[in-house]
Amino acid sequence: MNASVHVDPIGAVVALLIACSIGAVLYWMLHPPESQVQKMAAQTTREVKQMVGSIIVVFSPEINSRHMMALAVKLARGERSELLALYVIEVPRTLPPDAEMPDEERAALDALGAAETIANENNVNLRTETVKTRATSEAVIEIAKREKADLLILGSYLEGKYAGARLGTAIQEIAADAKCDVLIGVEGKHGKLFGEELA
Residue 198 reports pLDDT greater than 70:
no
Q: What is the mean pLDDT of residues 60-85?
A: 86
Label residue 50 by pLDDT band (50, 70, 90).
low
Indicate the pTM of the whole model.
Answer: 0.68
Q: Pick the closest to residue 75 from 124, 23, 137 (CA basis).
A: 124
- Lowest-pLDDT range of 16-30, 142-156, 180-194: 180-194
| 28 pLDDT above the threshold of 90 | no
- Predicted confidence at residue 149, as pLDDT, reads 93
Tell me whether residue 114 is exposed, middle or buried, using C-beta atoms within 10 angstroms of its C-beta: 0 to 12, 13 to 18, 19 or more. Answer: middle
Residue 148 in this model has a pLDDT that exceeds 80: yes
